[in-house]
Amino acid sequence: MSSVLTTSLGDRVAFDRRGGGPAMIFIAGAGPYREVDPWTTETAELASQAGVTTIVYDRLGRGESATTTVPDLDRELEAIRALIDEVGGRAALCGHSSGCTIALAAAARGLPVTGLLLWEAPIGGQSGGAGRWADEVLRRIDEGDLEGALVHYMKDMPPEWLEDARRPPAWESMVAGVVSYVADAQSLAWIESDALENLVGGLRMPVECVTGTTTFPMMIDAANAIVRAVPGATHRSVEGSNHVWDPAAMAEEIVRFLAP
């Protein structure tokens, strides 16, 4: 089932394509890729059985997707453009966590996106400090301090997430893969670089923010901010907790979202 394509910038993107019908491309947040993310694969499989074309891919620099240079936001968007071409030139995007801000950037830059389904976008306001935070992550990566870059990337996450991540052998793998977080950091800095209305207020496709039935207050606040900024955007609650969706519930939501 796994396939590979090459982007216009020469990056190798590995992906799984399933089903037929309107297309949905899943954009993971910082860290996950197909081998370690069975939830997204299960969601894509269930949605494909209900008449959706699904694409689950390894973000650049993760899993089987390779790049010869730092996989920044521009390169990640070219990967998404190539995947959209793969499914016929138009697709909806399902972002998870910082994958939401990458999806929003793709739509804002004019990629042929038919809709955005955004699971728990971790965005603050214009004064959230993401620009300074992203600069520090990138500085540490440039200096070769990959462990320091990962620790700084996770500094505002629940502390137990970092504690759990430090358990071997997962920590070593996460440290080695932190370069693939560059696009995430850049997209999170971008989404706080101006008022949301100025960045995404011009979007004219269906946009739905989704939060779990048990989640962090900031995720609700972020969803509401996007709803206020994007004309016609909506916010729904779907079964899920601790920033992870329930595959069956999310598959149902995808099918509903893409229904004509």
Domain count, the chain: 2
Residue 210 pLDDT: 98
Same structural domain, 240 and 254: yes
CA distances from 51 to 24, 202, 233 (A): 11, 30, 24
Contacts of 77 (CB under 8 A, 6+ apart): 102, 105, 106, 109, 111
Same structural domain, 101 and 33: yes
Same structural domain, 59 and 158: no
The span from the CA of 13 to the CA of 242, in Å, is: 29
The span from the CA of 144 to the CA of 67, in Å, is: 18
Of the chain, the end-to-end C-alpha distance in Å amounts to 28
Same structural domain, 82 and 120: yes
Q: Is residue 84 a contact partner of residue 62, using CB atoms and an 8 Å limit?
A: no
pLDDT digits (tens, 9 = 90+) for 181-221: 999 999 999 999 999 999 999 999 999 999 999 999 999 99
Residue 127 pLDDT: 60
Same structural domain, 78 and 7: yes
pLDDT digits (tens, 9 = 90+) for 20-46: 999 999 999 999 999 999 999 999 999
Can the peptide bond before residue 168 be classed as cis, meaning omega within 30 degrees of 0? no
Same structural domain, 62 and 144: no
Mean pLDDT of 65-94: 97
Mean pLDDT of 235-253: 97
The rounded radius of gyration (Å) of the Cα atoms in the chain is 17
Judged by average pLDDT, the poorest of 3-17, 25-39, 62-76, 162-176 is 162-176
In the chain, beta strands by DSSP E = 2-6, 12-18, 23-27, 53-57, 91-96, 113-119, 207-214, 234-241, 244-245
Q: Is it the case that residue 259 has pLDDT exceeding 70?
A: yes
What is the domain extent for residue 18? Answer: 2-124+194-258
Residue 177 carries which side chain, given as an amino acid letter? G
> What values do phi and psi take at 38, rounded to 5?
-70, -20
Residue 186 lies in a domain: no
Mapped onto helix, strand or coil, the DSSP state of residue 104 is helix
Same structural domain, 227 and 157: no
Residue 213 pLDDT: 97
Q: What percent of the chain has pLDDT over 90?
A: 84
Q: Is residue 18 a contact partner of residue 44, using CB atoms and an 8 Å limit?
A: yes
Provide the CATH number for the domain around residue 27: 3.40.50.1820
Residue 116 lies in a domain: yes
Same structural domain, 58 and 115: yes
Judged by average pLDDT, the poorest of 68-72, 128-132, 190-194 is 128-132
The mean pLDDT value of the chain amounts to: 94
Same structural domain, 134 and 252: no
pLDDT confidence bin for 158, thresholds 50/70/90 = confident
Judged by average pLDDT, the poorest of 53-62, 72-81, 161-170 is 161-170
